[in-house]
Amino acid sequence: MTVFLSLPSEVLRLIFQNCHALSQLSNLGLTCKHLHALYSDNIHSTWSQVGKRSILAFEDAVITSRANRIALDHFDKGQLPPAPFPLDQLPTSAQPLRAEDIKSVMDWRHLATCIEIICLNTTNWGREVTSSIKPRNKFVASFAGWNTWRERLHRSIYRMFLLGPVLCRVYQEPLVPAINQPKNFLVQFAERKEEGPPPVLSRTEMDYLLTFPVFNMEGFETHEPVYGALADFFM
């Protein structure tokens, strides 16, 4: 052990970065104070390598994690998420990985894995995928294709959860009290929905909501400012 710890820090960092599994990385980092300090000081460089090998759609998991943290931080302050949403600050190329990123990414990974298991075992399309694509042995040639399919599934899951914080403001803003909001806007809406025949919205309420692009389905020319940046980000 003494000989191992006497290796130059550059060599030890390379050993961290070449761990094949998260368990190896964790165990190595917890071996002693020296290695734990080295791990803590090099989270970005280490996880940039190991995370991509060990967590499906790792970059998307980081992006979704950061986006949701931004939204929650604003909610804690009694504010809606920012507009425009800072998409350019989400990738690992924009901000180095930190300890809180790693913890959050592990939670998102767990959620994505749970969704995958539920879909594969409780839906018709999931059972078809399991029987037609999933290999019985991880050493067969088709295993690489199965991992590619799983990575795409996890990426789509993360991106669905990215829509929430990014578009939260534009969908919630029409419901926030405003000077030009109609009097008694959506008052007793639940009772109206249960008791009265359609439409449950008054003409004034409808006209007000239609001034917002997210509620004006036919105002295509107004949609690009709302969805364009997110569409470009996904491309």
Q: Where are the alpha helices (DSSP H) in 77-216?
A: 99-122, 124-132, 143-172, 189-195, 203-209
How far apart (Å, rounded) are the C-alpha atoms in residues 235 and 228?
A: 11
pLDDT recorded at residue 78: 92
Predicted local distance difference test score (pLDDT) of residue 56? 94
Specify the pLDDT at position 158.
97
CA 77/CA 169 separation, integer angstroms: 14
d(CA 226, CA 85): 10
On the CB side of 157, CA atoms within 13 Å amount to 23
Cα separation, 111 vs 113, whole angstroms = 5
> What does the pLDDT read at residue 208?
92
Give the C-alpha separation, 153 to 148, whole Å.
9
Write the CB contacts of 172 (distance below 8 Å, at least 6 apart in sequence). Answer: 80
How far is CA 218 from each of CA 23, 183, 210, 211, rounded to the nearest angstrom? 52, 26, 10, 11
Query: Which residues are CB-contacts of 208 (< 8 A; sequence separation ≥ 6)?
Result: 174, 180, 181, 182, 185
Q: What is the pLDDT, as a whole number, of residue 138?
A: 61
Q: How confident is the model at residue 185, as a pLDDT?
A: 86
Secondary structure of residue 140 in the 3-state scheme:
coil
pLDDT of residue 83: 87
pLDDT of residue 8: 83
pLDDT recorded at residue 192: 77
What is the secondary structure of 26-76 as a DSSP string?
A: HHHHTS-HHHHHHHHHTHHHHHHHHHHHHSTTHHHHHHHHHHHHHHHHHHH
Mean pLDDT, consecutive 10-residue stretches, the chain (235 aa), reads 77 82 80 83 84 91 97 95 93 92 94 95 89 70 77 96 95 88 84 76 90 89 90 90
211: helix, coil or strand?
Answer: coil
Ramachandran sector of residue 97 (left: φ over 0; alpha: ψ -120 to 50; beta: rest): beta
Cβ atoms of 168 and 80 closer than 8 Å? yes
